Structure 1
Amino acid sequence: MKPAARVDNSEDDDALMVRLQGGDPRAFDELYERYRSPLWAYFLRNTRDSQLAEDLAQETFLKLHARFWDYLPSGRFKGWLFRIAHNLLVDDVRRKSHDALLHASKHQAKEDDDHMQRIADDLLPPDATVEKREVAELIEQLLDEIPADQRETFTMHHFQDLSLPDIADAMEVPLATCKSRLRLAREKLSEKLALRGFTPAAAATQ
């Protein structure tokens, strides 16, 4: 699945949902174009299976279409949509073995590569002389070594650009839990980088 072309976000998500609830099918098409790539990337990051990510993204949109009357316009559409996605991911995890979920996908989207570069910049000190691409590739592998709830929180925040309140909505947990999971994910990734000889940014400033 190729990343979608950038779309005009001048009309906010709530307005599109109101149009959809009013019977305008074009509103669904606009939401699909807006969120198909973020959803696919979210599922790919958490399943490592490109075709499965595609299937789960499509299923998310089917559920959105079936449940659009359940949404009350409140400015939290992104969290509501990713709650559907999160629940589908949880259901899939229950159906599959851990080994199957860690099946490595060879697909690397340019957008994901840019995200990994920024995360490497964030976790390493500014004066680090290591090759950031090497660190980005290592972080990609290390994400599989942290607990699933922390990994999902980390990927929602850093790859899908969800705010912490939206992630809390999506995962149906308190905001404090969401903040804790993100902090733990960052700490564990930094620790694992340190064990491999890379100095985390926090340690470099002490």
Structure 2
Amino acid sequence: MQGENELIIQDLISGSDKAFAEVYRKYHAQAYTYLLRRTASVTMAEELLQLSFIKLWKNVENLNPDLPLNAQLFRICRTVMIDEIRRQSAIKNTETFYFEQFKESSSSNEALTTQLRNDIHSALSELPTARKKIFELSRLEGYSHKEIAETMSISIRTVEDHIGKALKLLRRKLRDSILLFL
């Protein structure tokens, strides 16, 4: 059995699509059940399952032939699940913060709040497509710079550069609106 484990891992490391398909066929139901039990969400479990197998494929060179493949896969599933829970928590915290800010300000002046919201939307629409997507992934969806870089196949430095330029534009465009708001 250990020899079979080593062979499948070696096949995976060598880039065998057939080996990956075999691993998926063999373990996807167990991984899905594991994720479903922990998340209690069919949609989330399905998404995490896909992300886990993508992460397995992208990081196949890090597999250890001396460890059981299923243990390594379930460690990946657990890590992906924790990362997603953290990301969703960051989004929720950000939404709560902005909701509270808008709630406080809207009670004092609804017109200014609406104007600021429109100005923010307008400023974001002026960003180049890639910069806008990077900014939204970072600031609105809570992705780390590393996650964005991996998702978009660019360097972390490029992500940082885009976010810096987006913030600079937003500060410039929103300077007057924010002064009115305050």
TM-score bracket, normalised by the shorter chain, equals 0.3 to 0.5
Query: Which structure has more RCO (C-alpha within 8 Å, separation ≥ 6)?
Result: 1
Q: Which has the larger radius of gyration?
A: 2
User: More helix per residue: 1 or 2?
Assistant: 2
